[in-house]
A and B are shown apart, each in its own frame.
Chain A
Amino acid sequence: QVQLQESGPALVKPSGTLSLTCAVSGGSISSNSWWTWVRQPPGKGLEWIGEIYQSGNTNYNPSLKSRVTISLDKSKNQFSLKMTSVTAADTAVYYCATDYSGGGSYGFWGQGTLVTVSS
């Protein structure tokens, strides 16, 4: 059973960079899967941030593309999110998710981590 665990700073200053990591256990990040980041501002709906395939191919939400980078670290079996120039509007619970072994829908999710942007 694939398990995902997000980690990273809970507080980021405005104009700073948000950096999160998703550790994968029970499966290999080199499998034919999409590794995804989704966020949810407090009291709001889900927003898809972007994804990376095991080959390194990436897709991003156009509204965030200029500020977001998703990368893989196969040696550590994890993937990461970097978001630059953050504002209070980026305050949200950030989830990592995957369609492990294909299909496209997200059968596996991390528990989520709240990131607050504030000085």
Chain B
Amino acid sequence: EIVLTQSPGTLSLSPGERATLSCRASQSVSSNYLAWYQQKPGQAPKLFIYGASRRATGIPERFSGSGSGTDFTLTISRLEPEDFAVYHCQQYGSSPRTFGQGTKVEIK
């Protein structure tokens, strides 16, 4: 089973700042099948990035994903008020699929 470790646990930033979220895998993620989801309170997760770097339909360009193998990053170039939420990474290259524990991006 691939364990995903996200850091930091909480990121306190102001609107307009850059956010960098990390997701590290315990072993290489097959075919870079790594996704990022955004989740707001009381809502289901929403797919933002798949294949490590591909934006899902309708996701703004300020969101970008990068990385390969065991180290992946989600970057939000300039935080908008609606971006403050929890972000989960997930690998779907091998079974069992696994999620990281989440990173909360909060308003400073």
Report A's interface with B, CB cutoff 8 A.
Answer: 36, 38, 45-48, 50-51, 59-62, 95, 97, 99, 103-107, 109-112
Interface bin, chain B: 20 to 34
Q: Is the CB of A48 within 8 A of B44?
A: no
Chain A residues closer than 8 Å to B97, beta-carbon distance = 36, 48, 51, 59
12 new A-B contacts, CB < 8 A, other than A104-B33, A106-B35, are A36-B97, A46-B88, A46-B90, A47-B99, A48-B97, A48-B99, A105-B51, A106-B90, A109-B44, A109-B46, A110-B44, A112-B44
**Interface presence of B63 (CB below 8 A):** no
Partner of B102, one of A45, A97, A112: A45
Most chain B CB within a 10 A radius of its CB, from A45, A47, A95, A107: A45
- Whether B7 sits at the interface, judged by CB under 8 Å, is no
